[in-house]
Amino acid sequence: MYNQLFMAALEGLRVSGQYRTFANINRIAGQYPLARLESTSDKEIVVWCSNDYLGMSSNPDVMRAMTATVERYGVGSGGSRNISGNSALHLDLEASVAEWHGKEAALTFPTGYGSNDATLQCLLRFLPNVVVFSDAMNHASIINGVRATAAKKHVFRHNDVAHLRSLLAQYPIDQPKLVIFESIYSMDGDVAPLADIVAVSKQYNALTFLDEVHAVGMYGPRGAGLAADLGLQDSVDIIQATLAKGVGVIGGYIASTKLLIDTVRSFAPGFIFTTAQVPGVVAASLASIEHLKTSDAERNALHDKTLLLRRRLDEAGVPVMPESTTHILPVPVGDSELCRRAADHLLEQHGVYLQPINYPSVPRGTERFRVNATPNHTDQQIEDLAHALKETFTHFRIPLRERVSV
């Protein structure tokens, strides 16, 4: 009976074109964005959909920090932070993160998904009679953290401040409220109206929880994110982000007041009962953040390469979703099966790796590629990608568009 249930569910995914397949991408240290496929180990491919936005995973100082720490402390952390996994490295990383965001304290987690999920579950169970207001496009980790609690929740229309205001206005000023939103949304590449959301949240006495995972490292003074870029860091109550994208390693964190951080540290099961980040990861994350605080080279190069990529795609007639104003360039296809076939063609014929983005990551009928250049992509690789996408769209009769000047 159980196997039949599993088989039927998986077959449903296959029939709908939503079944996920994973390519074995073997990155080449020091040569990112080049990689090799396990099945054709001699064939190099170019990766165009990695979240390693700044190439920091291959930064020599970051790699040295990890390897030297492994030699000194070994590869494991030994347990959860409250048993045997805590170290001076963890405290140094948290101090660096807090300073980066202008907050009193920070708390790190093994993954960015975990930092959202654990923190939100903790706060929503801790705050009495709390009401949640969550943007319609928030990440799955946010959705899961909210759904796992009994807190009353409202989903406001994406980036719609007027709708958020109307929902907040339904509740007494002294009732606990939490407004959750992101600075950059990864599927469309668009930006939230941060100042307006923060202002209306404060008007109705709501805590603000800002997910900056696609902004830290790439935007703001010293790469501290969009809130810092807009001078809003002090006004946002909780900043959450990842160590796996711009920072180039793995992990997640929250930054806020000492009191709030201590509350999550003391009451969140998702923090208390999980194994701590391993020393090498912590050291590499710290080295990466400290580098990004003082170096504009990587983010300036990212934005220059992104502008060039936009121009070349426009010249080739390859559409980019108009919502995108950031380094994330969503290229719409609109059909899950066609998206998968186009991805296979790009890989086999052009050595270009782009993973199809299908439901539930995006709504059905809006399937796409999510393309992003990095400082490590060459101008020639950008030219080659534009040509490859144009040829692939033509081959599969996916609509191109007329050129619009960038």
- Catalytic site positions: 245
Identify the H or E element spanning 13: helix 2-16
**Alpha-carbon distances of 228 from 87, 183, 207, 240, 353, rounded to whole Å:** 29, 11, 18, 13, 33
Q: Which residue has the tokens 């009679």?
A: 129
Q: Quote the CA–CA distance of 86 and 82 in Å, as a whole number.
A: 7
Query: Nearest CA to 116 among 92, 147, 94, 88?
Result: 147
How do strand 184-185 and strand 207-211 relate by DSSP bridges? unpaired
Angle at 139 between CA 32 and CA 290, to 5 degrees: 45
**Alpha-carbon distances of 298 from 50, 252, 280, 354, 373, rounded to whole Å:** 16, 21, 23, 22, 12
Identify the H or E element spanning 140: helix 140-147
Q: What is the DSSP letter of 157?
A: P
The token pair at 161 is 């401040």
For the stretch 328-338, what's the b/e string if a residue is b when 16 or more beta carbons lie within 10 angstroms of its beta carbon?
bbbbbbebbeb
Tally of CA atoms within 13 A in the half-sphere of 325 that contains its CB = 9
How do strand 352-353 and strand 207-211 relate by DSSP bridges? unpaired
Strand partners, 357: 368
Distance of CA 10 to the CA centre of its chain: 27
Q: Which residue has the tokens 């101090």?
A: 95
Distant-in-sequence, close-in-space partners of 163: CB < 8 Å, separation ≥ 6: 156, 157
CB atoms within 10 A of CB 352: 24
- Phi-psi region for residue 178, left (φ > 0), alpha (ψ -120 to 50) or beta? beta
